[in-house]
């Protein structure tokens, strides 16, 4: 079975900033690393609803499912029980309501606007690749999360 994951790039084009979160030292995965708002799909949940739910749960920002655009697809075929370990759909949102806040302080050290030209180096590899490719108008698919 393939694990379905949604991530969201909230991009303020006027100021060229994106909303990023930094994982806490208690995080199960990628302690202290920066990441996009991201999370697993619930059984039967449309991927756009996953994106909307995870973004709100992690940052307090609200987006409409219909305003999401697909920015990137990451297919990671390793690390899982199944031959196709995970598929991450990375959406971009240019319209939202609310201000970013850290709604899961046990999981995240901070949630903040970051200048798109100054994305931290200490970033989860798969989502960093997707973010940079979106910002550079690069390829829209990554295999195994690498920069191929």
What backbone torsions phi and psi does residue 41 show, to the nearest 5 degrees? -75, 140
Q: How many domains would you assign to the chain?
A: 1
Mean pLDDT of 55-68: 98
pLDDT digits (tens, 9 = 90+) for 65-100: 999 999 999 988 765 555 558 899 999 999 999 999
> Which of 56, 135, 59, 51 shows the shortest CA–CA distance to 90?
51
- Establish if 129 belongs to a structural domain: yes
- Establish if 31 belongs to a structural domain: yes
- Establish if 148 belongs to a structural domain: no
- 79 is in which domain, residue-wise? 3-143
- Establish if 9 belongs to a structural domain: yes
State yes or no: pLDDT of 20 exceeds 60.
yes
Q: Which tokens hold the place of 18?
A: 């994106």
Rounded CA-CA distance 78/112 in Å is: 31
Most confident range, picked from 6-10, 83-87, 140-144: 6-10
CATH code of the domain in which 83 resides: 3.90.79.10
pTM, whole model, 2 decimals? 0.91
């Amino acid at each position: 079975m393939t694990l379905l994951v949604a991530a969201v790039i909230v991009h303020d084009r006027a100021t060229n900033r994106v909303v990023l979160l930094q994982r806490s030292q208690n995080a199960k995965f990628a302690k202290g690393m920066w990441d996009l708002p991201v999370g697993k799909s619930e059984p039967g949940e449309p991927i756009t609803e996953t994106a909307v739910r995870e973004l709100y749960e992690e940052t307090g920002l609200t987006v409409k499912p219909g305003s999401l655009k697909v920015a990137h697809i990451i297919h990671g075929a390793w690390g899982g029980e199944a031959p196709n370990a995970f598929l991450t759909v990375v959406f971009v949102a240019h319209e939202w309501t609310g201000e970013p806040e850290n709604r899961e302080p046990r999981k995240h050290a901070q949630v903040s606007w970051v200048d798109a030209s100054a994305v931290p180096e200490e970033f989860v590899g798969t989502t960093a690749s997707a973010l940079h490719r979106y910002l550079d108008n690069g390829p829209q698919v990554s295999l195994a999360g690498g920069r191929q």
